[in-house]
């Protein structure tokens, strides 16, 4: 039997933006089919994604984060490590692990930028839901 539950991981940094992805996801997948997990930041998502996928309870695992240049470290390295880890979690477990992890080239903590990315994360959440449903449908057809 194919699982009908979804795991949704949210990174805590910029939660006011990241949490919008869950809102978009819930526009297509009912909230009662989604288990939500919070992590401190993007770097913690791959390990939890792998652990959740390995349980066999989920049709897909979705991981959402907003990785920005804080001026202290090279955010591109963090973003690349996260995306690589999420891909590896999916490949190792055979469960789709989808990323809603964005790394803008230019982000300033202004109301204008915040509103742009809040809206963008809603759309990215919807895109993740569509992808999860499509992958599930395709894999079910392959199994038949």
Q: What is the pLDDT of residue 8?
A: 98
Portion of the chain with pLDDT greater than 70, in percent:
89
Give the mean pLDDT of 61-88. 81
How far apart, in whole angstroms, are the C-alpha atoms of residue 8 and residue 63?
6
Annotated binding residue 44: yes
Beta carbons within 8 Å of 17's beta carbon, 6+ residues apart: 66, 114, 117, 118, 121
Query: Catalytic residue numbers?
Result: 74
Annotated binding residue 113: yes
For the stretch 1-54, pLDDT in tens is 577 899 999 999 889 999 999 999 999 999 999 999 999 999 999 999 999 999
Claim: this prediction has a pTM higher than 0.85: yes
Annotated binding residue 68: yes
Give the mean pLDDT of 69-87. 76
Could you tell me the pLDDT band of residue 73, with boundaries at 50, 70 and 90?
low
Q: What is the pLDDT of residue 72?
A: 58
């Amino acid at each position: 039997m194919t699982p009908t539950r979804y795991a949704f991981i949210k990174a805590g940094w910029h939660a006011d933006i990241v949490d919008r992805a869950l809102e978009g996801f819930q526009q297509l997948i009912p909230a009662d089919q989604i288990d939500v997990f919070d992590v401190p930041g993007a770097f913690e998502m791959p390990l939890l994604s792998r652990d959740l996928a390995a349980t066999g309870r989920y049709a897909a695992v979705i991981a959402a984060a907003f990785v920005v240049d804080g001026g202290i470290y090279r955010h591109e390295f963090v973003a690349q490590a996260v995306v690589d880890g999420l891909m590896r979690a999916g490949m190792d477990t055979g469960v789709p692990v989808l990323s809603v992890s964005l790394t803008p080239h230019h982000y300033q903590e202004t109301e204008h930028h915040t509103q742009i990315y809040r809206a963008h994360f809603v759309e990215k959440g919807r895109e993740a839901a569509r992808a999860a449903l499509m992958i599930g449908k395709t894999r079910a057809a392959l199994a038949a």
